[in-house]
Amino acid sequence: MAEAVGGRFEQVMARLEEIVRMLEAGGASLEDSVALFQEGARLCREAEALLDRAEALLNAETEGALAPVEWLEDERGQVGT
């Protein structure tokens, strides 16, 4: 479970870095820039949820229980985005 969170976090961060490079390059149209910004904002929220999930996993590990983690998953078993 922790590996899945970490792997997805790495994917999100890589895409965010790509978006930043694209926006900083300045070659995108206004429409494309807005779309990239919106995608970046969504990915930031997802990264925050993944970090919350990782923190809950660490807390659960130190407390010896996994119960606090369950509320972070949606009905499909995915971290909230």
Residue 22 counted as domain residue? yes
Count of domains observed in the chain: 1
Does residue 80 lie in a domain region? no
DSSP bridge partners of 73: 79
Q: Give the model's pLDDT for residue 19.
A: 97
- Whether 21 is covered by a domain: the verdict is yes
pLDDT tens digits, one per residue of 12-70 = 999 999 999 999 999 999 999 999 999 999 999 999 999 998 888 888 777 765 554 55
Work out the burial of residue 46: count CB atoms within 10 Å of its CB; fewer than 13 is exposed, 13-18 middle, 19 or more buried. buried
Q: Specify if 14 maps to a domain.
A: yes
| pLDDT the model gives residue 69 | 52
pLDDT at position 11 over 80: yes
Query: Are 79 and 43 spatial neighbours (Cβ–Cβ below 8 Å)?
Result: no
- Residue 76 lies inside a defined structural domain of this protein: no
User: 64 is in which domain, residue-wise?
Assistant: 2-71
Global pTM exceeds 0.85: no
Of 52, 38, 39, 31, the closest CA to residue 12 belongs to: 39
